[in-house]
Structure 1
Amino acid sequence: MTRRRFAFNRETIQLDDSERASIPGSFIKLTDGYTWYEQAGPINGKPVIFINGFSVPHYLWEHTFQPLADAGFRTLRFDHFGRGWSDRPDVVYGPDLFDRQIVDLLQALHIETPVNLVGSSMGGLVASIFANRHPDLVDRLALIDPAGMMNLPVYLQSLLLTPILGELILALSGHRTLPSGMAGDLLYPERFPQYVSDYLPQMQIEGFRRAILSTLRTRILFNSRSVYEQLGQADIPTLLLWGRFDQTIPLTIGEEVHKLLPQANWRVIEDAGHVPHYERPELVNEMLIEFIK
């Protein structure tokens, strides 16, 4: 394990072979680097692939991954490049990278297609992009508060359009602002303190801030209406879930997405924020199991 120490640099861990050997789970080498993943459930069960959001890694599915495996599905969760325990390649973190990672992962793990995709926030958008590009590889699609239709906040303009300033802002304050922003995903953050504490370890790995900034600068989160317009023309069974009190991507945007996806089974999850599957798994898991079965 190599640790580097520079002023204002909190990314002190380089993800190398010795570091990976100490991390639970599995790693596999793909086109753009090593990807962390975990599988569960019967080998011959229907494949269900969970896709993370903008920056929260695989623990996003902590209350969903194993329950669906116990229901008889072959579940797979993994970390996007730049997040969690996956590599941080020096590339553009946009649709092509995220799509290629899924294609490579399915092929490398010899997962039979079509598969069922379950995506949260940016993961819902990535799942939709994948379905548009590879409709023959997708059986069913479950989107949970998917991103892509938000307006670009004014305060992000400096991060997106001024490279040096963006790096400086994250270097000086990202260790505070990113985790605190994650707490806003929850309607009752005091009930789930581990949601934020589990976020912190990935921030120590070299390349995390670079990946976050690159993703923001591609504007994938803000200019993707056409993705849902295209998906709305497809013949893919879709489940669209939204937390009633989502402050990250409000329900009004969910209603816009629903209009673009007339084929979707639209369900609003009461008493939940941006990640209803994390706060209300007893409801969401039942909906997912019924939909995929």
Structure 2
Amino acid sequence: MNTALKLGSLPVMGINMTKNYGSLKASTKVKVFAVDGAGDAEFPSFLPKEVEKIKDPFARSLSKRMKRLPVQIGMSESCIMSSCVKPLRQSNKTSPVVLLHCFDSSCLEWRCTYPLLEEAGLEAWAVDVLGWGFSDLETRPPCDVASKRHHLYQLWKSYIKRPMILVGPSLGASVAIDFTVHYPEAVEKLVLINPSVYAEGTGNLAKLPELVAYAGVSFLKSLPLRFYANMVAFNGIPFFTILDWTCVGRLHCLLPWWKDATVSFMLSGGYNVISQIKQVKHKTLIICGQHDQIVSYQHVVVSS
């Protein structure tokens, strides 16, 4: 389990990775697992048609496992059809492991880790945070922090129903902390991976005129920007593999409500959990890289 969580969303494809993440040097070939259903099963109809062009077998397999579950979000009977990958079997023998994702991402981020968790016998849920991923947001619900928190709680209350091990990478760590402080009974333990928890929300971006915010979000969606981000993140990976991973990472951006949901989050101020960190009483495992260029390793060590 620890190995799987350390790898996070790094593609498990038996490729030599040359990045050195502190004590974790990803230069060893990793066991390749058979990917069930990558060939015969069909993709869910709610996914953008571009999913059919993706080559990554892990992304294809997890995409075909994806479901939408109705999650009630208000006093009315209205529901959001919420995307996630649910376990094949639920059992009271182990605590459910619920996988959040990074900023502007989706549950496909866990495409390589998810099979490892299942092979370890864990009840794993990979869920899409409200406003990102592949949920049906045709009604354009608010996607601020409070809405994201409430949506996750309602999903947990309706389907998971037991204290969970909540896993949050990067901004997902802020999502996890905020949720845990407000709903401590729903969480057994926390796992925070390269946690981004000291940002003061979206900062000045929250003050942008709406027209400018939409222009910025359009740039965030662009293929060149996301391709460059992947090029910086990985060394020694073939061009077309990076391009394929980029297409996986921006697949959710192709849904018609993605811009509206992202602007809603940006203008709301985003996550600022600095004051909440010391309120967390749950046992917490922090996994981070000493040479992370985004989240300061020393900051995490000193604070913890």
Q: TM-score, normalised by structure 2?
A: 0.67
- For 2:175, give the aligned amino acid: V
Note the 1:185-264 alignment, pairs <5 A: 186-188=233-235, 190=237, 193=242, 194-221=244-271, 223-231=272-280, 234=281, 236-255=282-301, 259=303, 261=304
1:39 to 57, 82, 86: 86
Q: Which amino acid aligns with 2:69?
A: I
Q: CA deviation at 1:81?
A: 2.3
Question: Which residue does the alignment assign to 2:69?
Answer: 28
Paired with 1:114 and 1:173, the residues of 2 have a C-alpha distance of: 35
Partners of 2:223 and 2:246 within 8 A in 1: no
**RMSD over aligned Cα atoms:** 2.9
Q: Deviations over 1:5-44 (max 9, x none)?
A: xxxxxxxxxxxx9636987321111135111111236421
The one-letter code sitting in structure 2 at the alignment partner of 1:195 is W
CA distance in 2, matches of 1:66, 1:199: 19
Letter in structure 2 aligned against 1:190: I
Aligned residues: 235
Q: CA deviation at 1:90?
A: 2.2
Summarize the alignment of residues 79-158 of structure 1 with structure 2, pairs less than 5 Å apart: 79-88=128-137, 89-109=139-159, 111-150=160-199, 157=204
CA spacing shift, 1:152–1:26, aligned 2, 3 Å: closer
Cα deviation code 1:211-256 (max 9, x no counterpart): 22222233334x321121222xx2x110011122322323244235
State whether residues 160 and 216 of structure 1, in contact with CA within 8 Å, keep that contact through their aligned partners in structure 2: no
Identity %: 18
Change (3 A) 1:237 1:118: same
Q: CA deviation at 1:174?
A: 3.6
Helix, strand or coil at the partner of 1:56: coil
Runs (5+) with no aligned partner, structure 2: 1-43, 50-62, 74-79
**Structure 1, 20-29 or 76-85: larger mean CA deviation:** 20-29
Q: Could you say if the C-alpha distance between residues 19 and 38 of structure 1 is closer, same or farther in structure 2, counting changes exceeding 3 Å? A: closer
Q: CA deviation at 1:169?
A: 3.4
Structure 1, 191-200 or 125-134: larger mean CA deviation? 191-200
Give CA-to-partner distance per residue, 1:91-128, whole Å, 9 cap, x none.
Answer: 3322212211221112222x231111111112111111
Q: Equivalents in 2 of 1:197, 1:28: separation in Å? A: 25
Residues 184 and 247, structure 1, Cα contact 8 Å, conserved in 2 = no
Kindly indicate whether the alpha-carbon contact (under 8 Å) linking 2:178 and 2:273 is maintained by their aligned counterparts in 1: no
TM-score when scaled to structure 1? 0.70
